[in-house]
Chain A
Amino acid sequence: GENVEQHPSTLSVQEGDSAVIKCTYSDSASNYFPWYKQELGKRPQLIIDIRSNVGEKKDQRIAVTLNKTAKHFSLHITETQPEDSAVYFCAAKGYGGSQGNLIFGKGTKLSVKP
């Protein structure tokens, strides 16, 4: 089945710097890769996603890139702000049934220092 590895597990940056989180997946049939942000005590929130027919997607300060050949995808946050501090999870949609299910990475705790 699908396996998703996420690095780093913790990341500390200064406000205004960029942050990059990387994930690798194992199942070449996976075709959907979302990223979630979870603040302390809150639900995971979908912040951006990408499908396998696209190499890059941007939404304001957030971007995701996908390399299908290498089976890895990355989240890029530019001009970080203290409110970006949270745990970020990547996921890959596994192959199964007509939808499959999301397999999550272990998460990256991002701390943005003012």
Chain B
Amino acid sequence: DVKVTQSSRYLVKRTGEKVFLECVQDMDHENMFWYRQDPGLGLRLIYFSYDVKMKEKGDIPEGYSVSREKKERFSLILESASTNQTSMYLCASTGQAPGGYGYTFGSGTRLTVV
């Protein structure tokens, strides 16, 4: 069964800390994504990557960076965490197959910045 694993389910960090959220997929997928989900705003794309060492900004990249050194791993980095980055973070992946090919999500990391 297809799997996307996020390293932490719940995380509490202090303002100003550097935070790493890890995502690993075991499906040999090219495309990986980081979203955040907030009440009333839905899922918003932060960054995505379509290949190793490739990355592209999504709709809300400010305050975040990413790293894709290996195909299976896509890391989201909060350089200096702020309280407005308190959110649910979801990682997803998909292969290159055209249309009718859904995305698989990790179970999410609920980050609280205090």
Partners in one complex: no
